[in-house]
Amino acid sequence: MSPLYTFARILRLISLAMLFGGSTATVFAAITLIFAAKAHGVPALEAAATNAPVFIEFSKVAAIFAVTLVIAEAIEIKGDLHSLEGRNHKWRMGRYAASIACAICTFIFSFGIVPPMQQAMTQMKTNEAAHTEFERMHKLSQVIFSGTIAFALVSLIIPALGGRKVTD
């Protein structure tokens, strides 16, 4: 195994660990804070807006790890082209597809959802349309961010499901 391929495998695992673990931890912290705020009479959407800076900052970190994931998978795919016709190629292709889907969800979250949410957040106390837009983007972000988490997890566990050939 070449040093570049080994580096790509390590980079892939670190990227997926951050996208799965970091995203899950961010969601867990946000949910905990929202429930605590609601218990003190703060409306859920206002509590979500209070947590938004955490998601905004994490979206920057997540975008970087999504880029490194795509690079790592591209290196592995390039080195793996000769064996994709083998017995376990479906598991490998599934892993690659899950990684790419994870990166796409992360890019949508980081570049398509967070900037409009951030814009709406600054105006939502005085502008009803901005408030509605923030609420819409917040609901959409839950679906897309869930995709990041789910696809990262799938990409992490597929090598264990497909046997030794998936990772060699």
Three-class SS state of 136: helix
Q: In the structure, what pLDDT confidence band is assigned to residue 52 with cuts at 50, 70 and 90?
A: confident
Domains of the chain by residue range: 3-166
The vertex-142 CA angle with 139 and 143, nearest 5°, equals 95
pLDDT above 70: residue 152: yes
- Other beta carbons within 10 angstroms of residue 42's beta carbon come to 16
pLDDT score of 154? 97
What average pLDDT does this structure show over 95-115? Answer: 96
| pLDDT of amino acid 83 | 62
Instruction: Report the helix count and the strand count for the chain, using DSSP H and E.
Output: 6, 0
C-alpha gyration radius of the chain: 19
Q: Does residue 140 register a pLDDT over 70?
A: yes
| Sequence-distant (≥ 6) Cβ neighbours of residue 3 within 8 angstroms | none
pTM: 0.87
- Rounded to whole angstroms, the Cα distance separating 15 from 35 reads 30
